[in-house]
Amino acid sequence: MTIVVTGATGNVGRPLVAALAAAGAPVRAVTRAPRTAGLPAGVEPVGSAAEALPGASAVFLNSRALGDDLESVVARCVRGGVRKLVALSAINADDDFARQPSRFRGDRNKEVEQVVVDSGVAWVSLRPTVFATNFAGMWSPQIRAGDAVFGPYARASTAPIVETDIAQVAARALLTDELVGQRIPLTGPQAFTNAELVETIGAVLDRPLQYREIPNAAVRQRFLGLGFTADFADAYIAMLAATLDAPALVTHDVEKVLGRPAVPFAQWVAEHRDVFARAT
């Protein structure tokens, strides 16, 4: 029962590969750098999805990693007799693309779900919300440098999910048939405003951190400085603007699937405190 994981060195892929290997499943991990991927013992690193597919029974599809090869890889899966496809989609996959920043970096979360649903093969689509690790990427340079985090909309709301929870649900989807035919919206256990997220990080680090709302034009400049496009920045701002009037949706699907609550954001911060630690 060989399982192929695309995007295997990524935020979701790495803990997923570890979970599958720990469960004793034979795993082929797709990475552009198979020699240096640093995967667990027993996992077979492979340089392309095409190379990994022969004999596979289940495949995890990450549209960022697959890029333009998504459709051809799924067609190969169908021809090759793969029995199950698990898509990494997103909770906002059906929203207006103008409010999906990931579209502007090439992700195709709507398409990856549609292609597995249409494949004729047993499928599961995972629809996570914002990953906890995004806040490390967006905020840790500011938190390492001082006590203020500058960004859009202090009242914007999210319910961040830790990547290991997504990976554990994905492992269940790949290893069992319990979730077949489901689109599963995955969130963390609690909704927070941006201001509350920064307070939570501050409480864990025992520092007086504060969120400071800045105008959208300044947000756009910051994203451009980080190498993102203006379209990405505008979609990010629009996505947050849509959350100002109500707390973000919290689903309990992680708990339903895994039989234990989703990991709280504060626990994730505590486990990643080095990422936010002040430069000495």
Q: Which of 46, 52, 128, 197 binds ligand NAP (CB under 6 A)?
A: 128
Sign of the Cα pseudo-torsion (214, 233, 222, 275, in order)? positive
Dihedral angle computed from the Cα positions of residues 245, 126, 164 and 195, in that order, rounded to the nearest 10 degrees: -10
Comparison of 193 and 208: residue with beta carbon closer to ligand NAP: 193
Question: How large is the C-alpha radius of gyration of the chain?
Answer: 19
Binders of ligand NAP: how many residues, by CB under 6 A?
A: 24
- At 97, which amino acid appears? F
Residue closest to ligand NAP when measured from CB atoms: 10
Q: Which helix (H) or strand (E) holds 57?
A: strand 56-62
In terms of CB distance, is 62 or 200 closer to ligand NAP? 62
> How many C-beta neighbours within 10 Å does residue 177 have?
11
Q: For ligand NAP, which residue of 62, 142, 193, 251 counts as binding (CB under 6 A)?
A: 62
Q: Which of 3, 4, 5, 12 binds ligand NAP (CB under 6 A)?
A: 12
Assign 191 to helix, strand or coil: coil
Alpha carbon distance, N-terminus to C-terminus of the chain? 49
Which of the ranges 31-39, 146-154, 226-234, 240-248 carries the binding residues for ligand NAP, by CB under 6 A? 31-39
Using rule CB under 6 A, residue 33 touches ligand NAP = yes
Query: Do 273 and 202 form a contact (C-beta atoms < 8 A)?
Result: no
Residue 179: CB minimum distance to ligand NAP, A: 17
- Interface residues for ligand NAP in 67-96 (CB under 6 A)? 67, 88, 90
Nearer to ligand NAP, 90 or 235 (CB): 90
Q: Residue 24: left (phi > 0), alpha (psi -120 to 50), or beta?
A: left
Scanning residues 209 to 268, which ones bind ligand NAP (CB under 6 A)?
none
Q: Which one of residues 65, 74, 162, 262 is an interface residue with ligand NAP (CB under 6 A)?
A: 65
Q: Which CB atom, from 37 or from 143, has the smaller least distance to ligand NAP?
A: 37
Choices 57-65, 72-80, 189-197, 214-222 (CB under 6 A): range interacting with ligand NAP: 57-65
SS3 breakdown of the chain: % helix, strand, coil, rounded to 5? 45, 15, 40
User: Rounded to the nearest 5°, which phi and psi values hold at 206?
Assistant: 60, 50
- 116 neighbors 74 (Cβ within 8 angstroms): yes
To ligand NAP, the closest distance from the beta carbon of 153 in angstroms equals 17
Token pair listed for 50: 């095409």
Instruction: Summarize as ranges the residues that interact with ligand NAP (CB under 6 A).
Output: 7, 9-13, 31-33, 37, 62-65, 67, 88, 90, 102, 107, 109, 128, 130-131, 134
